[in-house]
Amino acid sequence: MVKITMNKPASARWTILFLVPILLLTGCWQKPTSTKYITDNQGRALILHGTNSSGNAKHSEGHVPWIQEKDVEQEVVEWGFNFVRFLIFWDGIEPERGVFDKAYLDMVEERVNWYTSRGAYVMLDMHQDVYGYGVGGNGAPEWATELSLMDDFALEFPGGSPWWLEYLDPRVIAAFLNFWGYNTHQYLQDHYILSWQKVAERFKDNPGVIGYDLMNEPYPGDLVSAVALTFEKTRLKDFYDRLIPAIRRVDEDKWIFFEPQSFMINFGVASTLPALSDPRSGEKRLAYAPHAYPLTLHEGVAYNLTDKFNMREWNRNRVKELNRHQAPLIVGEFGGSDDVPGFGEYLDDTLEMYDVMGAGWTYWDNHPGGWGPLDSDLNETPKVNRLVRAYPRAIAGQPIEFSFDVETKVFTLEFAEKEGVTGATEIHLPDRHYPNGWRIQSSDAEGRWGYEWDSHRQILSLTADASVVNHRITVSPAN
Ligand code: IDC
């Protein structure tokens, strides 16, 4: 350890001034006052880990993602992921106005079943980037592209990369403004809502489909309201207030995942989205599903202080928002490339933060090559060792905290007994982190607790002593 005292020369004082903020930037993450969890039908708190599946469906024939059943087997059984954010597209569901494509939903359902039949949960994500196909993006069908207003933005648009600069294209601005302008182009939102109802009708009876991510990365259209953060309080809130009750008319039970504005919020700025209501009978089932992309890391710059500052802000602001929304947290997207220096460290830091926050997450995305867990020859990339963690998949009680130390491989879980919860606590203990096996300790008295081990799935099912309130479990590598 370096010891620095204040009577050192000026240079040392500068070192301190410089070091302190760095130390403050990693570790010591905040968590909500009362962390909420998605629960399964036995009342167990679910911690959901998985990937997005898959980005290539934005532009593939029929929006079919690249995955085969064997790839799902690898994600769910080999890597121990219990979750997937499955991309669907308005264009796939309603390719022509008022015409809903049953074959598209059949294709989706077949793939959804690959996941759910293996015990993984599916969140369906109505994806869009840059509005839709009519303006060079993905998501909305061409017929749902209203370009009036475009002349108000008579700029020459250069195009090019990075892809998100396309959000400045006047056609894109116009398409968004018209979509949000419910008074003038009501049919646009109404059809988006109808499309969601078709999806809900199809999946409401599949218990493995845990819910619906209403819209990927909502964007107001114009940069002015994006920067002023006025969109979330007005047009976005109004839209959610139309869409959520409409889905509830078809499906009372599934979780509804709502996102804040993406721009700026993704890298840590505070969201202004007000609390939403859920008209279902019983407790509300709304989950907060923001994305996390530190600014420069996303653009391929080495993991640095700006990113750490972004993550600190992201953590601080999401906690405030969770306190406002009183909802569980699912981080629907975060990701990057192994080629970026420090990317591994970033992953460890960010995954530790999610654990502290009691969050679930889906990595962007599972498409091989680039950012994917697999390279283009379908070999594992280094990031898999970090994404695959020891984690509590389902906690039979009230979670207090859990952690996985990536250096020592020590996993800890603390939880309390909770009325009405049944079943075992399931912990994923990946073979890759415990090549010589592991040993487990519990704060429960000897003989009053026990476990079963599924070596194929690498899942430990723990039964705690129900006569004591708190349980603390520690798993460490066997020597
Ligand atoms: C990216 C894909 C990239 C594609 C681009 C535009 O990785 O290949 O060219 O979309 O379609 C998001 C979006 C998500 C992005 C992802 C990474 O929700 O669709 O995927 N990202 O850039 N928001 C911030 C980052």
Ligand 1 centroid, distance to 63 Cα (angstroms): 16
Q: pTM of this prediction?
A: 0.95
Whether residue 334 has its Cβ less than 6 Å from ligand 1 = no
Task: Indicate which residue's Cα is closest to atom 8 of ligand 1.
Answer: 55
**Domain map (residue ranges) of the chain:** 10-388, 391-479
Residue 162 CA: nearest ligand 1 atom is 9
**CA–CA separation, 120 vs 138, rounded Å?**
27
Determine the residue of 163, 169, 213, 217 to mutate for testing ligand 1's pocket, defined as the one with the most ligand atoms within 8 A of the Cβ atom.
163
CB within 8 Å of 69: residues ≥ 6 apart? 114
From 2.60.40.1180, 3.90.1150.10, 3.60.21.10, 3.40.50.2300, which CATH number describes the 391-479 domain? 2.60.40.1180
Nearest residue to 209 (alpha-carbon basis) of 125, 298, 278: 125
CB within 8 Å of 78: residues ≥ 6 apart? none
**CA–CA separation, 324 vs 295, rounded Å?**
25
Whether residue 100 has its Cβ less than 6 Å from ligand 1 = no
CB within 8 Å of 249: residues ≥ 6 apart? 197
Buried b (16+ CB within 10 A) or exposed e, 66-103: ebeeebbebbbbbbbbbbbbbbbbbbbbbbeeeebbee
pLDDT 10s digit of each residue in the chain, 479 long? 333 333 445 556 665 555 555 555 667 999 999 999 999 999 999 999 999 999 999 999 999 999 999 999 999 999 999 999 999 999 999 999 999 999 999 999 999 999 999 999 999 999 999 999 999 999 999 999 999 877 776 556 666 678 988 898 999 999 999 999 999 999 999 999 999 999 999 999 999 999 999 999 999 999 999 999 999 999 999 999 999 999 999 999 999 999 999 999 999 999 999 999 999 999 999 999 999 999 999 999 999 999 999 999 999 999 999 999 999 999 999 999 999 999 999 999 999 999 999 999 999 999 999 899 999 999 999 999 999 999 999 999 999 999 999 999 999 999 999 999 999 999 999 999 999 999 999 999 999 999 999 999 999 999 999 999 999 999 999 98
Nearest residue to 397 (alpha-carbon basis) of 417, 426, 424: 417
CATH architecture classification, 10-388? Alpha-Beta Barrel (3.20)
Task: Provide the pairing of β-strand 411-416 with 470-477.
Answer: antiparallel
Which three-class secondary structure state does DSSP give residue 389?
coil
